[in-house]
Amino acid sequence: MENFPRQSLLPSFLYSPSSSSSFFTNSKTLSAAAPETTNVLPSSNKSFLVPAPNEPGKIEMYSPQFYAACTFGGILSCGLTHMAVTPLDLVKCNMQIDPAKYKSISSGFGVLLKEQGARGFFRGWVPTLLGYSAQGACKFGFYEFFKKYYSDLAGAENAAKYKTLIYLAGSASAEVIADVALCPFEAVKVRVQTQPGFARGLSDGLPKFVRSEGPLGLYKGLVPLWGRQIPYTMMKFASFETIVELIYKHAVPKPKNECSKPMQLGISFAGGYIAGVFCAIVSHPADNLVSFLNNAKGATVGDAVQKMGVVGLFTRGLPLRIVMIGTLTGAQWGIYDAFKVFVGLPTTGGVAPAAPADSEVAKV
């Protein structure tokens, strides 16, 4: 079991460092009161250090270094994974825009191979890499920030009681910011992937798009992007945290802090994959809207609904997107937590917070 003081307002229950982790306080505080009788909240000048095996140093939780590490982990997890599935994304976007030509996954790959060759499968990889790296940086970095911020606002007891609401609120807040960073790249990516001959990639596609649509045209799809990504991210983070907690509680015969790091990372991948399936279903109608609006100049949401139909919005390209998003989300959580372990931080989730008794919560 972790040695966290239950009266702490810091949401340390959201993380699961090794059993050797502890609060490091100054010698005066330790000599003044024994740990089992202390009811004083940790002061802001005390450091919460998380050791890890073979780490070159320690990162203080919720410090600038902590958020920088989470931000960089988000860049790696989102940028690399989205770039890797560019061929699937390319077929998915074309199935959404032209279902008569791209009838299925297999035929879609066949059409692309015949018309554009093997190199065509990675058309648009540069805006994909840069856009989703920017999105990942904001998504994961701000999620960790807002998760702690809302936990502190709620207090230890309410944060334990309403932990899922904190996951949802933190992820939604982070995604609002992340999509502003992603939107221009996403607009160019969709145009490059769905209109052969429009541009080779970002370097020529971005100025051509701006000349055609104007600078504000890059954000034409922002509201549908929010409609796609905010529910997706809320489901991604809240369901992941819940699923991982359930795995450790019901499927693993020992506490998380006694599990090996490879086992913890395997659980992160499994939890991420299952969460990704739910994410794909929840966000798919908005994904169809984003593809439609960024492909057709002057198109509106009404035009998309009229052409695709309500059923089409929910089903067109969905099987491929489930495979893509499930794999993508699982890999993202695996990479993100692997980076956290590398820099000496605990993997995400897995420990159910215990609400402190009223007598244990000290008054500030």
Q: What is the DSSP string of 15-52?
A: B---TT-EEE--HHHHHHS-GGG--PPPPTTSEEEE--
pLDDT in tens, 110-123: 998 998 888 888 99
274's CB contacts (< 8 A; 6+ apart) are 239, 243, 326
Residues 243 and 172 in one domain: no
Residues 294 and 159 in one domain: no
Classify residue 37: in a domain, yes or no. Answer: no
pLDDT in tens, 123-169: 999 999 999 999 999 999 999 999 999 999 999 999 999 999 999 99
In this structure, the strands spanning 22-24 and 47-50 are antiparallel
Q: pLDDT higher for 73 or 364?
A: 73
CA-wise closest residue to 221 among 229, 231, 232: 229
Classify residue 151: in a domain, yes or no. Answer: yes
Classify residue 338: in a domain, yes or no. Answer: yes
Residues 135 and 248 in one domain: no
Residues 211 and 96 in one domain: yes
CA-wise closest residue to 185 among 125, 130, 122, 140: 130
| Average confidence (pLDDT) over 322-343 | 93
CA-wise closest residue to 286 among 301, 268, 267, 269: 301
Question: Of 190, 218, 246, which one is at a domain's C-terminal end?
Answer: 218
pLDDT of residue 363: 41
Domain range enclosing 169: 58-218
% pLDDT > 90, the chain: 50
CATH of the domain at 99: 1.50.40.10
- Mean pLDDT is lowest, of 47-51, 206-210, 233-237, 346-350, for 47-51
Classify residue 328: in a domain, yes or no. Answer: yes
Classify residue 82: in a domain, yes or no. Answer: yes
Q: pLDDT higher for 153 or 91?
A: 153
Q: pLDDT higher for 113 or 11?
A: 113
Classify residue 261: in a domain, yes or no. Answer: yes
Edge-first strand listing for the sheet containing 47-50: 22-24, 47-50, 59-60
Distance CA 218, CA 206 (A): 9
pLDDT of residue 188: 95
The H or E element containing residue 213 is helix 202-213
The amino acid that residue 151 corresponds to is S
Residues 100 and 160 in one domain: yes
pLDDT of residue 306: 87
Residues 146 and 162 in one domain: yes
Residues 249 and 278 in one domain: yes
Q: What is the DSSP string of 275-312?
A: HHHHHHHHHHHHHHHHHHHHHSTT--HHHHHHHHHHHH
Classify residue 5: in a domain, yes or no. Answer: no
Q: What is the count of structural domains for the chain?
A: 2
| Average confidence (pLDDT) over 27-32 | 40
Please check the confidence at residue 257 and state whether its pLDDT lies above 50: yes
- Mean pLDDT is lowest, of 3-7, 211-215, 311-315, for 3-7
Q: Which residues pair with 49 in a beta bridge?
A: 22, 60
Q: What pTM was computed for the model?
A: 0.74
* 273 conformational bin, left if phi > 0, alpha if psi -120 to 50, beta if neither: alpha
Residues 339 and 241 in one domain: yes
pLDDT of residue 352: 55
Question: Of 188, 218, 248, which one is at a domain's C-terminal end?
Answer: 218
Classify residue 126: in a domain, yes or no. Answer: yes
Residues 184 and 312 in one domain: no
Residues 238 and 132 in one domain: no
Return the SS3 of 360: helix
Residues 173 and 95 in one domain: yes
Residues 174 and 89 in one domain: yes
Is the CB of residue 18 less than 8 Å from the CB of residue 51? yes
Please check the confidence at residue 258 and state whether its pLDDT lies above 70: yes
pLDDT of residue 57: 56
Please check the confidence at residue 218 and state whether its pLDDT lies above 60: yes
Please check the confidence at residue 172 and state whether its pLDDT lies above 50: yes
